[in-house]
Amino acid sequence: MRYLPLTDADRSSMLATIGVDSVDALFRDVPDHAKLPGKIAGLPDHMGELAVERHLSRLAAKNVTASTVPFFVGAGAYKHHVPASVDQILLRGEFLTSYTPYQPEVTQGTLQYLFEFQTQVALLTGMDVANASMYDGATGTAEAVLMAARVNKRNKVILSGGLHPHYREVVETTCGIMGMDIRAQAPDWKNAEDLAALLDAETSCVVVQTPSLFGHLRDFTALCDAAHAKGVMVIVVVTEVVSLGLLPSPGSMGADIVVCEGQSIGNGLNFGGPYVGLFATRDKFVRQMPGRLCGQTVDADGKRGFVLTLSTREQHIRREKATSNICTNSGLCALAFTIHLSLLGEQGLVGLARINHANAVTLADKLSGIKGVSVVNDGFFNEFTVKLPKKAAKIVSKLAAKDILAGVPVSRLYPDVEGLDDLLLIAATEINSVEDMDALVRGLEEVL
């Protein structure tokens, strides 16, 4: 009971102050039938620190970790190196164990880093403003679709076939229940999709992804122009945010809302969460933007300071009229993002993006040399699609047995779509050495 400071003597004296003779008396409003008499069957009693460590370490040891094997798994989450100082700062109790900054005089630390985070996100995406983060990229995308509907009061949504299918499902689940008409396109693995032709006066927004799920790159300028001519909003999704160090920003192409998964900068893989959604838009839409916002102001002495602001959009004021039900952000993940990006700076981010791309180009060339294997993409950032002569899921399993984590079989993401069984998504990042790449090539040659 090392986390509980009260002693039995404390408890007795406190009960005397309250004027009751037992803690049970304080639970007198609980109906008798609902009171648990004592222990709960099936659960163990407390364990010491050593025992807990042993138990959890044993579970952890059953998993194959990304850093210990040749690793090429992406599809929306990426293994990057995170500098040691990021986690050391996150572990500072003043960041780790603080709450939502409701009292700005004693939370300037959190508020200032959120302001810096918002600025960094705006710069990266090429947009005017950003919020203080969302749960993750997928939930951020659903919120973006709802926001577009608030702006143009339209109901139809076009989802590109290059959008991550998990994101598509989150949009379908979240916006579907709101009665929106969601039209998801077939998986666009050849990068042949024509979305401009699908837009009409009923369309609220079109959601595209860059790089697409299959790794393809596109200039969305023409799509944005076509969309804007019809009053349609363009939402650009980025699942690999490091790509924004090399590729033109969505803002420069004319995007209205940009949503990114920010995991790649500062945050580990963590088996899928917690991650951090980045959300940015144009100034004119700021009052329709979901989530928390940190704003600059002055204090009573006229000094610059920061507060949470524009909360009149939010649930705790507007209740059933709120723009969304979100009451939190991914503060600590946003902090990790902001520290890592500060360490990288302009040179570091551009350099990191270039190394990612260079490794992917090198790997794609190596894989193209294997008989029966072809790279589908013309252009890509750090992930691309290969066509194999056999079912990709089986190949990935066989390589996993050789301690090579080769990538994500497209069939795992689209089990209901025919004709994708031989496609494999392969990601390369700065962590992949030439030896790792050669191990993948050799492994593939052996199992094909």
Partner 1 sequence: MNSQGRDSTPHSVSVTGDVVTFTGNKALQQEEALIFELDNPGAVGVDLPEPVTTKTRLGGLSPRPGVGLPQLAEPDVVRHYTRLSQKNFAIDTTMYPLGSCTMKHNPRLNEKMARLPGFGDIHPMQPVETVQGALELIDQLAYWLKTLTGMPAVAMSPGAGAHGELCGLMAIHAALDARGESHRRRVLVPESAHGTNPATAAFCGFTVDTIPAEENGRVSVEAVKAKLGDDVACIMLTNPNTCGLFEPQIKEIADAVHAAGGYFYCDGANYNAIVGRVRPADLGVDAMHINLHKTFSTPHGGGGPGSGPVVLSEALAPFAPLPFVVHGKDGFDLIEHAKDAGKAQPFGRLKGFHGQMGMFVRALAYMLSHGADGLRQVASDAVLNANYVLASLKDVMSASFEGPCMHEALFDDRFLKGTGVTPLDFAKAMIDEGYHPMTMYFPLVVHGALLIEPTETESKRTLDQFIGTMRHLAQKAIAGDLAHFQAAPRLTPRKRLDETQAARKPVLRWVKPAPQAVVAQAAE
Considering the rule CB under 8 A, would residue 344 count as an interface residue with partner 1? yes
Restricting to residues 274-333, name those near partner 1 by CB under 8 A.
Answer: 274-276, 286, 292-301, 303, 305-307, 309-310, 312, 314-322, 324-333
- Extract the tokens encoding 231: 């009053």
State which residue, 18 or 229, has the beta carbon closest to partner 1: 18
Q: Which is nearer to partner 1, 96 or 229 (CB)?
A: 96
Q: List the interface residues with partner 1, window 394-433 (CB under 8 A).
A: 396-397, 400, 405, 408, 412, 415-416, 430
Interface residue with partner 1, options 150, 152, 155, 176 (CB under 8 A): 176
**Using CA atoms, how far apart are residues 425 and 386, in angstroms rounded to an integer?**
7
How far, CA to CA in Å, does 410 sit from each of 76, 261, 388, 417?
13, 20, 11, 10
By CB under 8 A, how many residues form the interface with partner 1? 216
Task: Annotate each residue in 71-90 with x if it binds partner 1 (CB under 8 A) or - if it does not, as one string.
Answer: x-xxxxx-x---x-x-xxx-
Q: Which of 222, 230, 379, 445 binds partner 1 (CB under 8 A)?
A: 379
Q: Six-digit token pair at 249?
A: 């920003």
* Closer to partner 1 by Cβ: residue 229 or 358: 358
Q: Please identify which residue in 80, 133, 205, 224 interacts with partner 1, judged by CB under 8 A.
A: 133
Tell me how far, at minimum, the Cβ of 288 lies from partner 1, in Å. Answer: 13
Which 245-274 positions form the footprint of partner 1 (CB under 8 A)?
245-249, 252, 261, 268-274
If you compute the radius of gyration of the chain from its CA atoms, what whole number of angstroms results? 25
Closest residue by Cα to residue 353 from 378, 322, 380: 380
Crossing angle of helices 165-176/137-152, nearest 10°? 50
In degrees and rounded to multiples of 5, residue 308 shows phi and psi of -70, 140
Asked if 207 interacts with partner 1 (CB under 8 A), we say no
Q: Which residues contact 295 (CB under 8 A, 6 or more apart)?
A: 115, 306, 307, 308, 309, 310
CB contact at 8 A, 137 and 275: yes
Locate 271 and state its tokens.
């088996």
Site string for partner 1, 346-365 (x = CB under 8 A): xxxxxxx-xx-xxx-xx-x-
- Using rule CB under 8 A, residue 47 touches partner 1: yes
Span near partner 1 by CB under 8 A; candidates 111-119, 151-159, 200-208, 440-448: 111-119
Task: Measure the CA–CA gap between 308 and 294, rounded to whole angstroms.
Answer: 4
How far is it between the farthest Cα atoms of the chain? 83
